[in-house]
Amino acid sequence: MQPTKNKQSNYLMKNKLKAILYPVLTGTLGNALVFLRPKKARQLSENRITLVHKNKKNLSIPERLMRAALVKKLDKIQDYNTIADLNRNFWANKNATELFLETEDGFETDFLPNCTFIFELLKIELSNHPEEFNTLVEIGTGNGDVLNYLSSEFPHINRFVGIDLSQDQIELNNKKFSNNKKLEFVASDALDWVKKHGQRNTIFVTSRGVLEYFIEPRLQELFNNINQLGKTIFVAIEPNGADHNFETNPNSQLYGHEPSFSHNYPGLFKNAGFDIWHFSQKVWFNASDMQTFVGAKN
């Protein structure tokens, strides 16, 4: 366990240094480089969502500073449908595969230390449940590491399905986890998959930023359709804006630079007919972000 602890410590230290130095560097050097290199600035900012998620391993230090300065200058988008379309297009193309590769250390530095507690709570919830759940579906499975982990944590479940928009990533996952016969990976839209293949006695999971890319009516439709399957459990680990008060603003609001959506997850689950068996939040990365943990059942 020591290597994991060291990685987590290094990760936290790097984030603290970034929080201190980045505003200074991007506010001075970044803006200066954007002014001095307009052609490169145009290349970096050709696509808004790609700019926000740019694979920084492929960028030089000057390009990283320029990227950060350009992200801060992005105009706000108010058309929710446009935002949803831009995000969907990004996650379905090869840029998403690059991002999954760049952020793969997040499984050890973020998911394992900060998120696994909710699956311990899920084990307790299942032990008190009279019905046996035989399938676990991860929506937005990304590189598949979380689904693979869950297959070892819940040995009584026979089938683990990972859904993702990226066909390229699904092909990589099928090769990477070919020895784990419990896993299957499918390139599909989540709502379409649920309508065609969803069944009762299924646990649905999202991990660290999936549902934030759904426009609110479509997310509500997804929850409604899952509830109609019969007995289901949902574990959602999703970001929220720290300024999003669900009581004073029960509706979804814009979040982040992309932007994506900060949803009122407890409210949307309840609207679909679910009961909430767990709700908690943690500060995530910085004071403007919250990681929200929701357990819902019907």
Please tell me the least confidently modeled range out of 137-151, 243-257, 262-276.
Answer: 243-257
pTM: 0.81
Between 166 and 42, the higher pLDDT residue: 166
Half-sphere exposure of 216 (CA within 13 A, CB side): 17
Q: Is residue 2 pLDDT above 60, yes or no?
A: no
Separation CA 185–CA 171 (nearest Å) = 8
Residues counted in the chain: 298
Measured from the Cβ of residue 243, the count of other Cβ atoms closer than 10 Å reads 12
pLDDT digits (tens, 9 = 90+) for 189-200: 999 999 999 999
Domains of the chain (ranges, CATH numbers): 2-77 (no CATH), 115-297 (3.40.50.150)
- pLDDT of residue 11 exceeding 60: no
Alpha carbon distance 90, 296 (integer Å): 29
Residue 36's pLDDT is what?
A: 86
Question: Residue 54 carries which DSSP code?
Answer: -
Cα within 13 Å of Cα(251), Cβ side: 5
Q: What is the pLDDT of residues 109-124, one digit of tens each?
A: 999 999 999 999 999 9
Question: What integer pLDDT is reported at residue 1 of this predicted model?
Answer: 47
Strand duo 260-262 + 135-139: pairing: unpaired
Cα 227 to Cα 241: distance, rounded to the nearest angstrom: 26
Cβ 270 vs Cβ 276: under 8 Å: yes
Whether omega for the bond prior to residue 259 falls within 30 degrees of 0, making it cis, is yes
User: Model confidence over 83-97: pLDDT tens digits?
Assistant: 888 888 889 988 788
**Confidence label for 145 from pLDDT (cuts 50, 70 and 90):** very high
